Chain A
Amino acid sequence: MSEPNAPIGESQVPGPTAAPSPPAENEITGNWLTGRPRSFTLSEGNLFLLLAVIIGLFSGMAVVCFRITIEWVRLALLGSALAPSHIRVLLVPAGAGLVVAFLVQRFFRAARSSGVNQTKAAVYVFDGHVPFRTVIGKFVTCSLAIGSGQSLGPEDPSLQMGAGIASTLGRRLKLSRDKLRLLAPVGAAAGLAAAFNAPISAVLFVIEEVIGTWSASALGAIVLAAVSSAVVMRSFLGSEPMFRVPAYTLAHPAELLSYAVLGVVGGFLSLAFTKIIVFFRPRLRGLPEWTHYFQPAAAGLLIGFVGLRVPQSMGAGYSFIDQALHSQYTWEILAVLGFAKILTTSLSFVSGTPGGMFAPTLFIGAMIGGSIGGLEHHFFPQINASVGPFALVGMGTFFAGFLRVPITSVFMVLETTGNYSIVLPVMISNTIAYLISRKYQDVALFDLLARQDDLELPSMEEQREQVVLRVEDAMRKPDVASLQAGDTLARALEIAETSPEEILLVRFPTGRWASISRKELSAKAGELPNSTLLREILSTGRLPVLHPDQRLDDVLRYIQGHEVLPVVSRAGSRMLEGVLSLPDVLAAYQKST
């Protein structure tokens, strides 16, 4: 008796990052308790998980130092008041811009680019290599830039610092190339988790934007790193969520319409913000090299002028987001703050000042959201919600539309506020903003920035949206009934004569499948009696079976060495749905392009 063929499921198809690791072993020697030398070994897989925790610890502490340094710089340069004196507002961002530009141009050129894209480049281009110099550069230049009032945030630099620390540790431990490639996103998740105090969002972001796959081995390490990093951050800076918001209750389902309006406005504004960035950034970069020494200073001066009237638009702006969430501003002021922040953030970013876009995106979203909410409440007082909930939803909306990470944007709002009551409006508004942004801007911001930097990185969004070819798109219906293992040679020849196929499939009662060629059948007929059963003469082994819903990409791994494979129903492996050969697969790919 033969065993049924083992169906090939997706879980059995290893992804690019989930390839089984070679059984390499690293030995760790220790004498912790007994004082005697004692050795034990860890497989690379286990060591990798342990390393993920250590990366989390390093990244968490690095991000804590980074956040505190930014605050020290701000206190030293701008003072302790939320609204600094006019002279400081005018001079500090410009002066610091000069220093930052000098450091970037002379010592830390890599600090200028997007941390997300550099981490992706490490994964897909540089075999997981992120120079430690980049970590230092990001730390120093971003602390100075953000602390001096440039309108940028610490999250993207934190992400890159995490990736850099992870890469450095991996290189020191001489990990395999596959593991090194995976370490950069692990560190990125750790850095982002600490920066946002939001481990779930960090894990989702890295999966959604950097590696683009839910591989079990990657997920385990990323989660461990993010959690350990967030624990470190919370133990040093407190466990409270980033923003505190009043409780929200949806009084009537019709209120969701008002959030849908916010989604539409947020979607178009995020689109406009993206267009501004991608239009001006390459033009400023294209100016003569010597101007790069002065661009951040010029941006700083302009930001200072804006800051004279709207000091809230300077720096990361977390405390002002908090105020918007507490309905501290009227809708008119919120609108002014939102547009001022778009201006100052655009100036900072396109001038090449190092820093991230996450915090400004949240700021703009909160202000625009609150403004829309206030405006709607002004004209439709029956709308129950105050400005606060709209500001909260606005954060996620702008995040979804601008950074094009719809799932992360929902969880980010929930996690940074610790408020789950707002989930329905967030989902509706974020989805609308995301769809609008996608419709009118084919390529996502990160991908556009990468192309401007001459990097052809894989677009996770394009990958998500790619049409997937499945077995059912390529298989053919069997022309004749398949042979049975219990058929006699005479019966098999009879069927073979009516079939145009050269290779015939043979089905066993247990659901196992095999094949025999017409030529071999004829040869056996000359040698053996006609009453000989097919099962006695089959020379090929068991065939892999396919299912109609399987991805065609996965099939390619298994079709090699077989002229044709049976496609059977998932309801029973004896029910033949079709047959598939390599030419069928190629024809399907040709047809799809």
Chain B
Amino acid sequence: MIPLGLLFALTVALARSYHTREDALVRQWFQAGNRDLSAGQPRQAFEDFRNALAYDPENRLVQLRLAEALLADGQLSEARSYLVTLWERAPGSGEVNSDLAHVSVRIGDGDDAARYFQAAIYGSWETDPARQRRNVRLELCEFLLARNRTEDAQAELAALAADIPPGDAGLLEKTGRLLLQAGRPARALAEFEAELRINPRQGQWLEDAGNAAMAAGDYAKAETYLARAVREHSSEQAEQLLATARDVMSGDPFQPGLSDQEQARRTSRAFNQGQVRLQKCAGGDAAPAYPGQSLTDLQSLNRDAQGLRERATLRLLTRDPELRKEAMQLVFRIETATANSCGQPSGMDRALLLIGQRHEGNIP
């Protein structure tokens, strides 16, 4: 029994001293790896983490960082292999699922990526789980939009918007932009307005809100925000948007509260603008080269415009609301056709295109 006791004591002493040394080595190599990873040296970081793992092969955090170093170094299959091993042990880990989603995105496996993103959102996180989940959801939205899965993205964005903590301007801004990208401008505008409640004079946020308002068809609001944006920070884009908003406001004959005379004046101006745009776009192709030749869209529109020109006088337009409607419909057709044939318009033509989209199928 005495030799057994002595051997036990010796083994305990040796094992303790070695485990202490192992722990120190793991910390040392782990810190070195993190430093190298932060310094943009993933290959060196990978070596460091591998050294750390030699002394604590079961350390999930080191394994995770090693996989992240591999991922950063572009060694996707190796990173995936490590992460899958980790996932098998902790399928509910948010961090592991998130990393696997990143690998899947880079490999091009969209279904797996979406699945891992979802698992990460509902997975467990060791630090600040709410923020981590929001970040992953944000990444998922970006991923879905990049793959044109707009409906899925809209659902995720709605969940994200409902989960934004008060005062998180950065997240409000990102969410608003993604909502805009997902075709939900009204919802985006709400996010930007929430952002502006934090700082009403932030130029970029004002510009974003104006942009969202424009997309939502609320040109009055857009003009207000963009005018403030231009005042707060000089931005060519904001100025262009402001000009367009003002053109829409000043050029829309269907705006409520306008007199017949004002509506006729705006219609006439729009009709003239449309004809000029049509002539410029069609150039020498405004009429058929010989009699009997079938007409192109632009030639057909030119013919219709010529047919209407006689009747579209200011006097008749003032008297006849149906004529105003007919003239504006032709203008909208011209702007749409020329935009398709000759590229996106600017100035008043852009305003007319937006007015057309605003009243599409719903001209009063």
Contact = CB atoms under 8 A, between A and B. Distances in A.
Interface of A: 54, 57-58, 61-62, 64-65, 68-69, 71-72, 75, 80-83, 236-238, 240, 244-247, 319, 322-323, 326-328, 386, 388
Contact of B88 (A58, A62, A69, A246): A246
A386 B77 contact: yes
Contacts of A323: 50
B10 interface: yes
B70 to A, nearest CB: 9
A68 B21 CA distance: 11
Interface in B74-114: 77-78, 81-82, 84-85, 88
A236 B3 CA distance: 18
A83 B51 CA distance: 9
Contacts of B50: 82, 319, 323
Given A61-B8, A327-B81, 9 more contacts: A61-B11, A65-B11, A81-B51, A82-B51, A245-B85, A326-B78, A326-B81, A328-B81, A386-B77
B57 interface: yes
Given A57-B4, A72-B18, A388-B81, A65 B10 contact: yes
Sorted from nearest, which 7 A-B pairs have the closest CB atoms?
A61-B11, A327-B81, A319-B54, A236-B15, A68-B18, A246-B85, A68-B14
Nearest to A67: B18
Given A244-B85, A326-B78, A327-B78, A64 B15 contact: yes
A230 B360 CA distance: 80
A330 to B, nearest CB: 10
B151 to A, nearest CB: 33
A237 B18 CA distance: 10
B57 A322 contact: yes
Given A80-B29, A80-B51, A236-B15, A62 B7 contact: yes
Interface in B1-58: 3-4, 7-8, 10-12, 14-15, 18, 21, 25, 28-29, 47, 50-51, 53-55, 57-58
Contacts, number: 70
A319 B18 contact: no
A541 B364 CA distance: 125
A328 B78 contact: yes
Contact of A246 (B29, B47, B55, B84): B84
A327 B21 contact: no
Contacts of A327: 77-78, 81
24 contacts: A57-B4, A58-B3, A58-B4, A61-B10, A62-B7, A64-B11, A64-B14, A64-B15, A65-B7, A65-B10, A68-B14, A81-B51, A82-B47, A82-B50, A236-B15, A237-B15, A238-B58, A240-B57, A245-B85, A247-B88, A319-B50, A322-B57, A326-B78, A327-B78
Interface residues of B, number: 29
A62 B4 CA distance: 10
Contacts of B53: 319
A65 B14 contact: yes
Contacts of A237: 15
Interface on chain B toward A: helix, strand, loop, or mixed SS?
helix
A60 to B, nearest CB: 9
A1 B154 CA distance: 95
A75 B29 CA distance: 14
A327 B29 CA distance: 22
Interface centre among A75, A83, A246 (most CB of B within 10 A): A246
A61 B4 CA distance: 9
Contacts of B14: 64-65, 68-69
B103 to A, nearest CB: 13
A246 B63 CA distance: 13
A109 B4 CA distance: 27
B341 to A, nearest CB: 47
Nearest to A61: B11
A326 B4 contact: no
Nearest to A235: B15
A388 B10 CA distance: 38
Contacts of A75: 21
Nearest to A81: B51
A54 B7 contact: no
A509 to B, nearest CB: 62
A197 to B, nearest CB: 13
Given A82-B54, A247-B88, A319-B53, A386 B81 contact: yes
Contacts of B7: 58, 61-62, 65
Contact of A319 (B11, B57, B81, B88): B57
Nearest to A238: B58
A301 B163 CA distance: 64
B81 to A, nearest CB: 4
A452 to B, nearest CB: 35
B41 to A, nearest CB: 16
B189 to A, nearest CB: 48
Contacts of A245: 85
A54 B8 CA distance: 12
Contacts of A240: 57-58
A236 B11 contact: yes
A425 to B, nearest CB: 18
Interface string B326-340: 000000000000000
B320 to A, nearest CB: 72
Nearest to B87: A246
Contacts of A244: 57-58, 85
A155 to B, nearest CB: 18
Nearest to B1: A54
Given A71-B18, A326-B78, A54 B4 contact: yes
A69 B13 CA distance: 12
Contacts of A386: 77, 81
A83 B46 CA distance: 13
Contacts of B54: 82, 319
Nearest to A54: B4
B296 to A, nearest CB: 51
Contacts of A246: 81, 84-85, 88
Contacts of A65: 7, 10-11, 14
B107 to A, nearest CB: 13
B120 to A, nearest CB: 20
A566 B12 CA distance: 64
B25 A68 contact: no
A245 B81 CA distance: 10
A327 B67 CA distance: 12
A205 B10 CA distance: 29
A326 B85 contact: yes
Nearest to B22: A71
A328 B70 CA distance: 10
Contacts of A82: 47, 50-51, 54
A238 B59 CA distance: 13
Contacts of B18: 68, 71-72
A68 B58 contact: no
B101 to A, nearest CB: 18
A61 B12 CA distance: 9
Interface in B302-349: none
A247 B87 CA distance: 11
B27 to A, nearest CB: 12
A62 B7 CA distance: 8
Interface in B253-268: none
A150 B51 CA distance: 20
A237 B21 CA distance: 14
A386 B85 CA distance: 13
Nearest to B89: A244
B164 to A, nearest CB: 38
Interface centre among A57, A72, A326, A388 (most CB of B within 10 A): A326
B82 to A, nearest CB: 6
Interface in B275-307: none
Contact of A68 (B15, B29, B77, B88): B15
Nearest to A72: B18
B36 to A, nearest CB: 13
A69 B21 CA distance: 13
Contacts of A322: 57
